[in-house]
Chains A and B, each alone.
Chain A
């Protein structure tokens, strides 16, 4: 199985059924994953900060870095690769409450709000979400199946389950 690593402030989409998309060390950062189970398009963004307006112009160069630009870009690229927005399963993980330089548990919570705001603006809502808390997380998504696995330090790997309506799975699709 080929491993495609998404780094901090990065993102991408794959249609290779033999690949796994993975991102590590989600502290206050959040990973958003999209999956179309019919077209078998998988995408992930690992964003660090809530708003591109904080960027002083660098958001054009690093759109994956921010919730607002990263999520809309992820959706756009997924659709360009054949995903149907109505069929998308949406996963989100991360946003741990980590103390920032001012000694405030702030950025994780702000990222969680920015996640919801950006998804809403894109006409999406998470089907499966593991955010908040205090642990750093690692997530991996299998492109062939859309299964998402989450791992926290000291804990077992577990699957992020999602229940999609049949309308989203597409007519005539057999259960996987």
Chain B
């Protein structure tokens, strides 16, 4: 994998996915939110390299994203739909990001999963992310993080 600006790549991918299927756009860079009621989703992928992409956003933002994606009023959403939409959002971000990597490798994506709120990684297991971007969106902040496993 050649040297690419992974942060820039991540920003571009977020723009494309949000505009294409979520009818929304990031409002510019922002500082990550701490302590807010959030939804988190994770998509692991296998290839060279392997890794995982994570998204984190407020529950209110997730509802707006879900309403846009499904073409529904927020009041009509079921309890599970925001989480399911955030998972699909993470899935598309990951797939598009990997397709834009300058790499001849192919990747396999796991199914996206919601990360339970308050879950902590085992001490020492969380390496610094390879890329991380936070954006202002409607009703909160979206943070997208990419972790890559070290190649042998």
Contact = CB atoms under 8 A, between A and B. Distances in A.
Interface in A117-161: 117, 120-123
Contacts of B68: 117, 120
Interface in B35-49: none
A85 interface: no
Interface stretch (B18-26, B52-60, B84-92, B110-118): B18-26
Contact of B72 (A109, A113, A121): A121
B71 A113 contact: no
Contacts of B24: 113, 117
Contact of B71 (A109, A114, A120): A120
Interface residues of A, number: 10
A116 interface: yes
Contacts of A122: 71
Nearest to B24: A113
B71 A123 contact: yes
Interface residues of B, number: 7
Main SS class of interface, B: loop
Contact of B23 (A109, A117, A123): A117
A116 B25 contact: no
A110 B19 CA distance: 10
B71 A116 contact: no
Nearest to A122: B71
Nearest to B67: A121
Contacts of B72: 121
Interface in A78-136: 109-110, 113-114, 116-117, 120-123
Contacts of B71: 120-123
B65 to A, nearest CB: 11
A122 B23 CA distance: 14
Contacts of A109: 25
A111 B71 CA distance: 17
Interface in B1-44: 19, 23-25
Contacts of B25: 109-110, 113
Contacts of A114: 23
B12 to A, nearest CB: 16
A122 B24 CA distance: 17
Contacts of B19: 113
A87 B23 CA distance: 24
A121 B25 CA distance: 17
Nearest to B72: A121
A151 B74 CA distance: 38
18 contacts: A109-B25, A110-B25, A113-B19, A113-B23, A113-B24, A113-B25, A114-B23, A116-B23, A117-B23, A117-B24, A117-B68, A120-B23, A120-B68, A120-B71, A121-B71, A121-B72, A122-B71, A123-B71
Pairs A-B, 4 closest by C-beta atoms? A117-B23, A121-B71, A120-B71, A116-B23
Given A110-B25, A114-B23, 16 more contacts: A109-B25, A113-B19, A113-B23, A113-B24, A113-B25, A116-B23, A117-B23, A117-B24, A117-B68, A120-B23, A120-B68, A120-B71, A121-B71, A121-B72, A122-B71, A123-B71
